[in-house]
Amino acid sequence: MSFPLYAPAEEHDMLREAVRALADEKIAPRAAEIDETGEFSWDVYKALVASDLHAVHVPEQYGGAGADALATVIVIEEVARACASSSLIPAVNKLGTVPLLLSASQDLKMRYLRPVARGDAMFSYALSEPEAGSDAAAMKTRAVADGDVYVLNGTKMWITNAGVSEYYTVMAVTDPSAGARGISAFVVEKSDEGVSFGPKERKLGIKGSPTRQVIFDNVRIPADRMIGEPGTGFKTALATLDHTRITIAAQALGIAQGALDYAIGYVKERRQFGRPVADFQGVQFMIADMGMKLEAARQLTYHAAAKSERAMNGEPQPDLTYLSSAAKCAASDAAMEITTDAVQLLGGYGYTSDFPVERMMRDAKITQIYEGTNQIQRMVMARQLLK
């Protein structure tokens, strides 16, 4: 008999309780204001740092909490239940640092993971460009060798937490004749001369997490800041996404759970025709479908997280690419459906910003788009099944 890889241990349940308590006390009361002002929530960041929840995935040898992939999913999920923008703090710290964990030298890991673990710096990930989104290998950003440095020129787009993060994993073309095998990865610091940022994008949701262009104008990067060997950057980028698509699934789960919880509370209290709305069968069917979709997506995400953890520990997981794409796609599609239904259950109230479900619906949409659109995820899954 085989047993599931992903069953949460008692420590995971205790972690969930602790994160939920923090989120309910410190984050949820700020969520509407964060959405309205569109400002990065430094107070939430400090609260996460104080509880060592801002980058829980960083291994203990670099000063981190050393949380496994499932624990990281639970942290992101519970923060997202309160505020999707805030959940991008632990999620993007993981996205930016996984390339180092997978491919960087020990010196580079020690130099850059320790400040992240301490809460002194955040780490963003710069892959997409204005003309290279789903087709990331078509990037134009160049890194040209000049002695013991590389000179970086180009523009990255849709970079989450750009401007607030101190460090950036940047993919750039070092050998234009080699296609995807000519792309290398570098650590770029916000303070490097020639680094600048475009204006904040005006977005539908996740407004408290800045999304901006990162612009490189003759930025000189020491050669020892290359992550891995020359030409391995794109391989590292794809391997990274196998792990971090699962964190987007976690964000989607949290948003959906927040919407479902609020909708359940509302329909039990709201009365029409002399009865609680929850007494009507049509409403009950909606609630049942919402809960079913959410739990199915959660189990798939936790299973993928267990596979991710084994892969990070050096155990081959040939189905990780498929499972991470499936988890991200299933959870984000479920989140969009569940938040839309939550708005419907609240009726006219759901359509107003006085209630949180319209924010959750707007926030859920991006989970179907970033880290690979769900159309791309279906292509990835199909190729894995057909190969």
Q: What is the mean pLDDT of the chain?
A: 97
The pLDDT, as a whole number, for residue 321 is 98
Residue 200 CB contacts under 8 Å (≥ 6 apart), including other chains: 38, 163, 210, 211, 212
**Which residues are tagged catalytic?**
371
The pLDDT, as a whole number, for residue 132 is 92
4-13, 102-111, 122-131, 360-369: lowest mean pLDDT where? 4-13
Share of the chain above pLDDT 70, in %: 98
For 10-118, CATH gives 1.10.540.10
Judge whether residue 1 has pLDDT over 60.
Answer: no
Judge whether residue 5 has pLDDT over 70.
Answer: no
Per-residue pLDDT reduced to its tens digit, 169-214: 999 999 999 999 999 999 999 999 999 999 999 999 999 999 999 9
Give the CATH architecture of domain 234-386: Up-down Bundle (1.20)
- Residue 117, φ and ψ in degrees, nearest 5: -60, -35
Q: In this structure, which topology does domain 123-231 adopt according to CATH?
A: Butyryl-CoA Dehydrogenase, subunit A; domain 2 (2.40.110)
Strands (E), the chain: 123-126, 142-146, 149-160, 167-173, 183-189, 195-197, 211-222, 226-227, 271-272, 275-276
Q: Where are the domains of the chain?
A: 10-118, 123-231, 234-386
Per-residue pLDDT reduced to its tens digit, 60-81: 999 999 999 999 999 999 999 9
Secondary structure (DSSP) of 268-283: HH-EETTEEGGGSHHH
d(CA 92, CA 89): 6
Domains 123-231 and 234-386 share a fold: no
The pLDDT, as a whole number, for residue 3 is 46
The pLDDT, as a whole number, for residue 183 is 98
Please compute the mean of the pLDDT values over residues 139-149 and round it to a whole number: 98
Please compute the mean of the pLDDT values over residues 350-379 and round it to a whole number: 98
Per-residue pLDDT reduced to its tens digit, 49-61: 999 999 999 999 9
Judge whether residue 273 has pLDDT over 90.
Answer: yes
Judge whether residue 2 has pLDDT over 50.
Answer: no
Please give the model's pTM, rounded to 2 decimal places.
0.97
Share of the chain above pLDDT 90, in %: 97
The pLDDT, as a whole number, for residue 8 is 79
220 in Cβ contact with 150 (< 8 Å): yes
**Contacts by 343-349, CB closer than 8 A, 24 or more apart:** 344/286, 345/263, 345/266, 345/267, 345/277, 345/283, 345/286, 345/287, 346/263, 346/266, 349/266
Per-residue pLDDT reduced to its tens digit, 255-266: 999 999 999 999
The pLDDT, as a whole number, for residue 9 is 86
Residue 226 bridge partners (DSSP): 186
